[in-house]
Structure 1
């Protein structure tokens, strides 16, 4: 419970009893209204009052769990479990003693912990603010005496949307991590870059969109991306309406019912109605009718099964990584090697499939042929084979998003060492706990934790916890002061936190200056800055990018680091660290021995056909990951040969992803063309000022692969008829379309780089040109997606070019 206290200071010439009398009188008034907090007052954990909305539906105050974990929250007063609809500090609970929320005289609402450190603060300061008020809608607002709102909790939702709470492109619902905890989880509901409401799993290993159905395009899913408002809302009747045409209604539609729309910890979005008599919630609509189709629900290698409720199980040859925590999934009981001497077997698991991570897709193929594809590919962990009119084969490089369904017309065949597979059963009992964290994994302060230990141990734990938090806070403060030398403590602490919690190493400027010999050897230069070769003290060769100009902006830099931290793919350059020191902003990447594609494609040294096809396929896979498997809003915006690096095996790795997409579009200035990309590779929509989508990358990729086949720049301008000018690309596409339409057979030989001396695959060259031409269509809706491009190229991949071994 919490009480309201007025901050006052007694003057020597002002009778103290007058202040006391005023405080008592004003507290009496507050106890009658109880729905607002005046300026200069506080709510503390250990005392006895809350804010309550006038109609008593909502309560605001410190929400406790266990004995020493509290969150400043808003919850339903009359629900049996006091259902929380908003939290200020969901990832940072405060102590049960001495923590308080204050409405300061500068208009900011501030949450402080027992040691006085600021845990949360409203993003507003205005001397016009007179009070914080809890409305009947469940909205906590800061307003002035005339009713003008300066800040509201409705603009910063956690996992729940309430009636008349507007949902926009800048808001997101993020699930809880599991039952018994309120910290942020892995599932989110938001408007994606295509203006479509989306459900995303962003877990420890992968990011993947699972609703609406990722197998269909926007329009097949009954949505539209032809809207720029990106706004949604639902009313008291239970009707939901969005600008992308998503509509649904509660099954008990009508007035007088309390409702909420919640992104649940199991990855499902549900609309709930409150039964006033029992205080329990009833589900009246849900997005996922098949809960096992939620991505990531059982972690890596895990399989979701119906028993009949959804539960998690490990496939044959695998075991639970961390009992009770399905976020960690299952781990193999064996070590898979590519040794020719290792004997393997395939274990069939009927009616089970794993979504995504397809190495190969084949139609009208026998099961034995599909098995052979997986057997000969060291990367293959399993293959999916289904009979739905024709034999469909999918070889898998990794096992994610597994589920068993009686409607699935096929099986997964797990590739296991023979010594393991012969003892494994394909039975999936689903006896493990329901997907998500179980009650034994509750975070600190949960009842189950404290009820199971003695009082002495309990207090010892609390003291140890408080001490640990204190040490961490001191480390954050000292680190921020030492590294950044700032006196504005909130900013420096935030940057220190970012640096320390980042998974990358933080280099000093002196280290990188020494590693690059004072930035001596420049190996590349782009719109964001120059790249230098360096050697670290552990003798690792690195590429150090020195950001210049607008790219040194604080928000842009940290957003780039944060974005790359969630991205991991074999065809994307790996980042090893960063430097943020004074005005210096540097990124440290793995060094690519064969440098960039342009140095091989447009020089005297030429690439062979095998390497060229490998570049086309690998680059497509990297972009498909950014567009589809990762986060849909990751758009490269500057795909070109200079940004495609080659390792020792000439495997392509895309670099410079992230910085361009994070830059803001502004007025036409000197930076504008740099932000948009590189002339010759830029999609027409940049010039037409159309909304930028992933199709700009598809266009640029098309230009690149056409250059891969032809071996020259297609971005150069040529003169026609002595006057008019057009690009090489425009003429090339026009001529190719005419030749293909007329059925000419010799066009491939005419366009393929003569330096290859005829040593190339005619089938592959034809496919690349056809794909490239479709990619550079002026109408972006006519361009293919990157995942469909990958499938098209895989269909004509030369089996002899794939690493194979006898197992």
Structure 2
């Protein structure tokens, strides 16, 4: 006995066109049922004559697939069928009768196939018992309440529009830890969580061998290894999916029922170039500013249509001693792994000799951060370029290969935009494509209810997962570590931590900052937003921006509080307060610290502009928003005015002018499109103030009337002196309080950068990553001795 579902011509994708037949009888019995308007199960067309038996979200704009039976072997568009056989097997056959996929069900008692509202396709017996389910065989997506265990893995698609199994996996590793791994034709390589940290430093534990994880209805993911995260729109009533995309990133999505578009509400990796295997062998991932792939000099794409195959050399490698070679330096580039040797505290020339003496060495990496670390490379995989990488790769090339001294990796070939732009709205953006503010309905409308339910899930989740397994103390410590990361605090917690908001650290336009100590003894700064018309916008701008980024030169946010009328933000405590308190007061900040602030803050802005998932424009860069830690390392703060732009979007609308007078770029007043160049302008003012030591944003008074700003006069005077070739121009430009204790080379570079940054023509302003590179090139100049006269004093 066979029960057939036949695909009919011209209506392949419409479930209503699927006819259920019992043998050849016209009496149709509904053996296959569909969940009401939420999910569909049918043949899905992806090409002219390629069909997949699939489950997809009915209301999503692009019919987003969450499961496929035959992802590696599509069937013909006419005559293909899915059959429930008498032996209980569910079988997909092509037009020629060949079996493409089957369930291998071992019982004859299978009575019906049913698609549950959860998205689970099940085979049931006469009593309703489930005998087989698609939840046990996921493809690239995990749905709420779908158990994820040690026997399961999520495997990415091969590419955009290509549903075949790709190379990126989400799995429980052999040590019980959830990981993302590239498993390609040439290598296998784990790239998440942070491969430079151990299990517990990553907030995980490998002591629980149950290996089980689940995504719940509220958008919270809970795992036995301690991985615990939630969607930004946490709450009931939202359709969600956890998907490993073809670019290797794991993302949690929420569906907007009205538009049919998906919102990214959590993702594992913020800097996509850290995904291994993304650009194939010899390829380099670069930010320009979106992540793209590029071939290094002397190499070309192996397959112009497929970056998975990487780059091939345009020369033959030989071990002949007669072949003359050279080394080409590519700044801020590294290839992770495949080190044939490692040496510490050796010179650049010694490192070069090690590669020359090794026939198999294809390049060497040398760190510029003072350690003298040398890594020779037997293979070139996992290449990436980042302005924050303190070193360079030196490619070993035949002398006959023509190369330019200035190596530019343009990354003109796009590789890793996660999903089609027509189907995605980034959750972290405050603006839709028309500039309207996203409504954060599910995040705080039911805050009190969510808090109670969250606690219920936490208690019941840990009890169910670990009660029977006996968790060691070390594992419990791992859970405490992960629970101390970004989270929602209660108002009572923060009131107690701040001793009823007793110690005030500072006050700004949006609120007051207080010092506090959390229950785990972390010292924090708690920002209490005042009642204002833009309080919600400022609050959620900070939460959605800084809550999901992590960089040493950006203030770390630990969490937030949203209860009733209370809106509070919890940051790390930064010891030395803001830059303005050291630069414009009696505290004379030394030159070493000034250069450190210039370089560090440029790195932070470069990360925001070029390496984040979104382009983040801070919009209010000024000394008050640059905090200094105990080592005078800068940390950019106050993201309340931040603008986030979707990649590929030209949207630049603002509801009002933003920023601080004196640091605002001209395009604000001229009503021009707002881009990251407004931050570059503000940074230019700050870096010139670091050199001069005064407020350049102030106005100069002549005859009792405002004539021009200090900035305009400073730039005009410096340009004139340089044009007239005055030898002592830099001494006149530098803060006289330093008494000549500064690096002339560094000061000249800072002035040069600052002047170019404040150019009225924004197209002539440099990018932040080029500023980082320029400053790093003079970082190792002769350091100024730090004395009691020129070090920051209190």
How high is the TM-score relative to the length of structure 1? Answer: 0.49
Which protein is richer in helix relative to its size? 1
How high is the TM-score relative to the length of structure 2? Answer: 0.50
